């Protein structure tokens, strides 16, 4: 596995591989890698002949400096995980390589960012859109892989790539979960022992909402109350938001039905966790 630190280096590598007829798959990450990231990388390996991953904790997408400072950084183990997952080239740029002196361009991702994460983390998706475009330009992959746990982020990235005519397929990969149902996240390691035991309630409450919607006519407000009650009654969690949206447009929907998704954010202490559950149509 080769390791690169500048956009020029990884771009030169990618150009050589493309000229040799290779298909390049790309998994962007912020490090603190876990089995969810490894799943993205292994899917890339199955689909492509050359595979790239990046590790970059992007300061532009953090609206809270304490959150940026406390984000886990485990570079040595990350390199081992990437190598074991079959990555051919690992791109680890510095902040100065990504945002050199004089950098001033930021991509605004539009109305898809008005709700949920965008509403509660001002500027977050501008940072996401900007870094993803810079990474895609540097790596120049045929396909890039993102987890569906970050459901709104995936929709935003698809929109940005389409709007800017970036020649790269964006593939969403189903959320990888621990055996107790908690969605894998780099932030999980910051949970206290008590909150780690309680945090699977997020997904079980989502499942309860989804099941309830299948057996009775229940509107979005009642579903929101059901989810909130489950969290508050059975854990120390604090619900930041719960929204029922159309899976493709993220527009709010009054019921949870085919092609809709329930998206949530829940705090356990100072750790913020997000998750979702989708109702797929029969044609999906």
Catalytic center residues: 37
CA atoms of 127 and 132, how far apart (whole Å): 8
Alpha helix locations (H) across 88-239?
Answer: 95-98, 117-120, 124-139, 151-163, 193-198, 201-215, 220-234
Q: Which two tokens stand for residue 235?
A: 């854990």
Buried b (16+ CB within 10 A) or exposed e, 171-207: bbbebbbbeeebbbbbbbebbeeebbebbbbbbebbe
Using left for φ > 0, alpha for ψ between -120 and 50, and beta otherwise, residue 101 falls in: beta
Task: Indicate the helix (H) or strand (E) that contains 9.
Answer: helix 7-19
Among 244, 275, 274, 276, smallest CA distance to 260 is for 244
């Amino acid at each position: 596995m080769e390791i690169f630190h500048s956009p020029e280096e990884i771009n030169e590598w990618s150009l050589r591989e493309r000229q040799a007829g290779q298909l390049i798959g790309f998994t962007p990450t912020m490090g603190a890698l876990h089995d969810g990231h490894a799943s993205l990388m292994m899917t890339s390996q199955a689909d492509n002949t050359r595979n790239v991953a990046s590790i970059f904790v992007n300061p532009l997408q953090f609206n809270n400096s304490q959150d940026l400072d406390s984000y886990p950084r485990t570079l040595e183990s990350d390199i081992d995980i990437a190598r074991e997952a079959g990555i051919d080239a690992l791109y680890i740029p510095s902040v100065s390589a990504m945002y050199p002196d004089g950098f001033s361009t930021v991509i605004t991702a539009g109305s898809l960012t008005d709700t949920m994460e965008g509403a509660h983390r001002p500027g977050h998706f501008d940072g996401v859109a900007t870094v993803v475009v810079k990474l895609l330009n540097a790596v120049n992959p045929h396909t890039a892989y993102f987890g569906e746990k970050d459901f709104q982020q995936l929709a935003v990235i698809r929109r940005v790539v389409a709007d800017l005519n970036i020649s790269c397929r964006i593939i969403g990969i189903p959320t990888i979960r621990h055996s107790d149902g908690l969605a894998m996240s780099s932030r999980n390691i910051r949970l206290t022992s008590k909150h780690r035991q309680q945090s699977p309630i997020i997904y079980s409450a989502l499942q309860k909402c989804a099941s309830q919607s299948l057996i009775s006519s229940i509107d979005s407000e009642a579903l929101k109350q059901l989810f909130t009650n489950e969290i508050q009654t059975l854990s120390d969690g604090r619900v930041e938001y719960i929204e029922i949206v159309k899976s493709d447009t993220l527009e709010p929907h009054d019921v949870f039905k085919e092609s809709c998704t329930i998206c949530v954010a829940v705090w356990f202490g100072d750790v913020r966790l997000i998750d979702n559950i989708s109702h797929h149509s029969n044609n999906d």
